[in-house]
Structure 1
């Protein structure tokens, strides 16, 4: 095993957690690594800790940049990645010592372009691999996309950026959207669509730190939801452009139902500005549909935009009955 693998780790305000992340990478059973720590303008001692690791182990490289967010940090690391394969790890998470070796062997043995693993959410550092029997799945790109778009059994494992080993060439012309939350939703489907095969192991080799102040752990935020809706709209347009109408239709339907569910939440909060912003996302989706043959989907959008009170009221009643 002498193939170089690049690991890109965005770093921001994690001085108390960074050592756990980096130590787990240095302890990998697969040794041919370059560990790219991207200090995203962190105001604490994270940047200094990165430099200390670079002095300690020649495989560690450090990039210091102005704060630009998670996507910008990942993007900044990619031009420096020399490996044939790339993986990402968030700096508050850590991995099992066999993480890289397992994914690399899985990718090679199944002739896949992406290898993915399961993960374990935890708020405790005292974790170990679950005793469950390992299962291996081999997906075509469309089967993996179905997991994402139709919310299959492995939706979450497929949609996230981390927990995967990618062939580096998949990223040619693809970068993460700067300033967006749910950056995975904007990007991962494009990489999977470009791949021929995606292999997945049910081994939980990545430990996802569930802290209360994380981006995704702070309750309802309108910007987060609007970015999520925009990701689905872009995905719908992407697959329509690629001639994959089934995926495009499902994405437009997801955008529609999630928009209505979000409006119900905003109505409870009496957030009229937020309600208007979500309806604008629906209108943008409706504009995308102009000239297409998706008349059933267009009708759903048209009715909602023309008679929002009636449609949203009916949806609210439907949700109550369903409960």
Structure 2
């Protein structure tokens, strides 16, 4: 018998997109659903639209709450979810009609706690998806964590595009008041899962709009939140004894720091940003105190002293890695 899947959709100022999103869920080939619409104090007609969906489909439940942000809305949905499994969807995105059925079947057949799919970024609705060369990857929890610095980083770190066993959220919630909220808890969820399965099939349509939280180009505040989350992840990896992965994670934080420094230098904002500079001095002290790879310590020190030079070095390094990978793939064909 198919288990109940709870679909949690935070709703805020999306009356232009909400109909498309909810209809894509109600049209799923997997029918045993509970659709939780969390009206996060939206000032437009979204609340009335949510109530309208509940009237036409008994699977829809609506929460009306004061505005608390995306994390708070997701957490509210988790609290009342009745399903054995959870999936999250942002209200300006939509999903393929077989999204839940395919992920659920993957999760059950591989005895995984998380099933994830790929997605497609789009600013138009008339899309023809490429369904050839679909790959299925099964990861242990440690292998899934390694992907947070690997090829499938984005689809594994985001909250949406997945089905989770509800037990994973027994003690885990999204951090309220922070952007890049999924960065803060992805590693906890992956570590807690006994197994993760990922399909490269694109089944979620990630709508690109300028007024969304993440759709505003280079946002310094958002990037700083990202570095905070990644540094917390590195500390967690250190606690569980994954030192090599901890060092890779610190490299990611350093690379984002370089992007922030470069942007602020271009806009003559760096000299007065004592908070940013002090934050990375603290990280430098942590690196100095911890039993970290000496190469990592030197690399970070050089980033602090010569951010522009190290930015160029990082770009050349990642370009060389891509070139090497490309040559290896060609030889293996």
- Is TM-score (shorter-chain normalized) higher than 0.5? yes
Classify 1:256/1:44 alpha carbon distance in 2 versus 1 (closer, same or farther; 3 Å). same
Superposition deviation, residue 302 in structure 1: 5.0
> Which residue pairs with 1:179 in the alignment?
177
Superposition deviation, residue 298 in structure 1: 3.9
Superposition deviation, residue 22 in structure 1: 0.5
Classify 1:254/1:34 alpha carbon distance in 2 versus 1 (closer, same or farther; 3 Å). same
Q: How does 1:190-209 map to 2 (within 5 A)?
A: 190-209=188-207
> Which residue pairs with 2:117 in the alignment?
117
Q: How does 1:118-137 map to 2 (within 5 A)?
A: 118-137=118-137
> Which residue pairs with 1:75 in the alignment?
75
Report whether the alignment pairs 1:292 with 2:290. Answer: yes
Classify 1:253/1:317 alpha carbon distance in 2 versus 1 (closer, same or farther; 3 Å). closer
> Which residue pairs with 2:220 in the alignment?
222
Q: TM-score, normalised by structure 1?
A: 0.92
The CA deviation string for residues 185-244 of structure 1, in whole angstroms up to 9 with x for no partner, is 111111011111111112111111111222212112221011011011100111111121
> Which residue pairs with 1:315 in the alignment?
310
User: Per the alignment, in what secondary structure is the counterpart of residue 214 of structure 2?
Assistant: helix
Query: Contact 2:35–2:60 (CA<8 Å) still a contact in 1?
Result: yes
Moved more, 154-163 or 274-283: 274-283
User: Per the alignment, in what secondary structure is the counterpart of residue 92 of structure 2?
Assistant: coil
Moved more, 263-272 or 44-53: 263-272
Report whether the alignment pairs 1:55 with 2:50. Answer: no
The CA deviation string for residues 259-300 of structure 1, in whole angstroms up to 9 with x for no partner, is 123211210111126753332231232343464211623444
Query: Contact 1:142–1:193 (CA<8 Å) still a contact in 2?
Result: yes
Superposition deviation, residue 319 in structure 1: 6.1
> Which residue pairs with 1:261 in the alignment?
259
Aligned mates of 1:173, 1:212 — CA distance in 2 = 34
> Which residue pairs with 2:166 in the alignment?
168
Aligned mates of 1:147, 1:16 — CA distance in 2 = 35
Provide structure 1 residue ranges, at least 5 long, that are not aligned to the other structure. Answer: none
Q: TM-score, normalised by structure 2?
A: 0.89
Aligned mates of 1:80, 1:280 — CA distance in 2 = 41
Query: Contact 1:112–1:196 (CA<8 Å) still a contact in 2?
Result: yes
Query: Contact 1:256–1:282 (CA<8 Å) still a contact in 2?
Result: no
Superposition deviation, residue 170 in structure 1: 0.6
Aligned mates of 1:320, 1:176 — CA distance in 2 = 32
Aligned mates of 2:307, 2:207 — CA distance in 1 = 37
When the two structures are aligned, how many residues end up with a matched partner?
A: 317
User: Per the alignment, in what secondary structure is the counterpart of residue 217 of structure 1?
Assistant: coil
Aligned mates of 2:315, 2:81 — CA distance in 1 = 51
Aligned mates of 2:90, 2:252 — CA distance in 1 = 28
Aligned mates of 1:288, 1:279 — CA distance in 2 = 15
The CA deviation string for residues 10-45 of structure 1, in whole angstroms up to 9 with x for no partner, is 000011110111111111111111000000110100
